[in-house]
Amino acid sequence: VRAGALGSHVGHLQWKVRDRETCAVVDEEAVRSVILRAKPDAFISMLQEDQLNYDACALMQAKFDISRCIVHTMDPAWTPKFHALGGSGSCEMCILEHMSASMQNLLDQFINSPQSAIMLLHDSPAADVIKVTITEKEAGIQIRDMILPDDIQVLTIKRGLTPIVPHGHTKLQATDELTICGRTDTLASVTAMK
Please tell me whether the overall predicted TM-score, pTM, comes out greater than 0.75 for this model. no
Report pLDDT digits (tens) over 155-185. Answer: 888 888 788 888 888 999 999 988 888 888 8
> What pLDDT does 74 receive?
83
Which CATH number applies to 99-188: 3.30.2130.10, 3.10.129.10, 3.30.70.1450, 3.30.70.3270?
A: 3.30.70.1450
Query: Please, what is the end-to-end C-alpha distance for the chain in angstroms?
Result: 33
The answer to whether 60 and 66 are in contact (CB under 8 A) is yes
Report pLDDT digits (tens) over 81-140. Answer: 888 887 665 567 777 666 666 666 666 666 565 555 555 555 667 777 788 899 998 899
> What pLDDT does 140 receive?
93
- Sequence ranges of the domains in the chain: 2-96, 99-188
